[in-house]
Structure 1
Amino acid sequence: MKDILLKYLDQYTSLHEQQKQEILDELQIAAYKKGTVLLRQGEIPAKCYFVLQGCVRQYSIHPDGKEATSQFYTEEQAIAIFHSHKQDKASEYTIQCLEDSVLVVGDLALEMDMYKKHDQLALMTRKMIEERFGQMQAEYAAFIASTPEERFKSLLHKQPRLIERVPQHQLASYLGMTPESLSRIKKRVQQESGK
């Protein structure tokens, strides 16, 4: 599992082998069972995660009780609630494992300590956040400008395995449609691709 982390360290830093090993030795890796809630809506975030294996869902519950899925995280993706560094700010999301998952677990104190020891680690984190922020902006712009069918086709193109890993009602929520609409769209897309 640590080979995934080494790949990121190699991609974003020029650390020596000894420095990389020191970082890997300090990181906490934990296994979580399917259904484990990592953070509940309303709690103050204290940890961040990096998915080595598994699938994690981010969602919020509206006052009417309806769930709205805002993100799925799979292998090689970081999970961070960006206002977590503000200790007075409660999370607007619940984060839950949809599969048995293996995650790198970070906390603010450890993160700050590691940044002091390894300045390139702070640079790597900043680069990853900038890349993810750019991706999220592009995804949001595409989402609001596209039809439900276009959203499904985009997901099918970008993350085809997600469709098999996630319950249909959660996938529908993520795509901004009802489960019934998603079912119709999936059927139509399958028929088109079978021609």
Structure 2
Amino acid sequence: MKMDERDNEESILCFNRLDETLKKYGMFDVSEREKVRKFCTPAYFPKDKALHRSGDIANSVFFICSGLVRFYYISEEGKEYNKSFSHENQFAGAVQYAAQPEPCRFYIQALEPTHTLAISLEGLNKLYQESLAWANLGRLHMESLAVRKTSREAGFLLDSAEQRYKTFLAQEPGLVQRLPLYQIASYLGITDVALSRIRKRIK
């Protein structure tokens, strides 16, 4: 199969995945789902490639068709801290800056070969203004981000490292086999040695 044919098949698959994901929200008819297509551009990121860099002003949000990405910060000392992960059929990007673009402080990196649909934030804003369904989706997404942020903060303040790991297992059981130990440890705020001990203890 030629490369352009393979790319075309992957693009069709991506649009189908986005369509199926939107259907699950129960508020998008065919015409509403079709509106987003003109703002989408298929984008492929090899493993370790950056989708977004700290200091850049985001101009797209990504729908992940296949693959896995991480959101992370880098301290002044050069240490990396994982913020979150996103995978198939999820949205990834600085959507919180859609209304007021400004430089983001985090990075987004592909941890696996990742196929996406890049949705322009300008287009997304138009959808929010013109469509009640899309406006509601934006609100639901922001509410979900707020809940996850609050839950993560509470976990760091109130839970032990072991409990945080158990919560991660419950919330993202499929990621344990896809992520290196040190990536999970960084997300939990512990060393990979400490995480290894926890894993042995709870087996």
* TM-score (norm. length: structure 1): 0.85
CA 14–162 in structure 1, closer or farther in 2 if over 3 Å, else same: closer
Which residue does 2:9 correspond to in 1? Answer: none
Q: Aligned to 1:20, what secondary structure does the other structure show? A: helix
The reply on whether 1:172 has 2:185 as its aligned counterpart is yes
Which residue does 1:159 correspond to in 2? Answer: 172
CA 22–91 in structure 1, closer or farther in 2 if over 3 Å, else same: closer
The reply on whether 1:9 has 2:11 as its aligned counterpart is no
Superimposed CA distance per residue, residues 155-188 of structure 1 (whole angstroms, 9 cap, x where no aligned partner): 1222122122112212111001011101111111
Q: CA offset at residue 99 of structure 1?
A: 0.4
The structure 2 residue matched to 1:83, chosen from 53, 75, 97, is: 97
Counterpart amino acid of 1:161?
G
- Between 131-140 and 65-74, the greater mean CA deviation after superposition: 131-140
Q: CA offset at residue 55 of structure 1?
A: 0.7
Which residue does 1:108 correspond to in 2? Answer: 121
Which residue does 1:193 correspond to in 2? Answer: none
The 5 A counterparts of 1:1-195 are: 1-12=14-25, 14-24=27-37, 26-81=39-94, 82-83=96-97, 85-87=99-101, 89-190=102-203
Q: Aligned to 2:176, what secondary structure does the other structure show? A: helix
Q: CA offset at residue 72 of structure 1?
A: 0.9
Q: Partners in 2 of 1:51 and 1:181 — Cα distance?
A: 31
Which residue does 2:8 correspond to in 1? Answer: none
Unmatched 5+ residue regions in structure 1?
Answer: 191-195
Q: Partners in 2 of 1:116 and 1:71 — Cα distance?
A: 29
Paired positions, count: 189
Superimposed CA distance per residue, residues 44-73 of structure 1 (whole angstroms, 9 cap, x where no aligned partner): 222211222111011111111111111111
CA 61–19 in structure 1, closer or farther in 2 if over 3 Å, else same: closer
Q: Partners in 2 of 1:173 and 1:54 — Cα distance?
A: 20
Q: Aligned to 2:89, what secondary structure does the other structure show? A: coil
Counterpart amino acid of 1:179?
D
Q: Partners in 2 of 1:13 and 1:117 — Cα distance?
A: 18
Q: Partners in 2 of 1:144 and 1:153 — Cα distance?
A: 16
* TM-score (norm. length: structure 2): 0.82
Alpha carbons 2:161, 2:190 under 8 Å: kept: yes
Q: Partners in 2 of 1:93 and 1:183 — Cα distance?
A: 27
Unmatched 5+ residue regions in structure 2?
Answer: 1-13
Identity, in percent, stands at 28
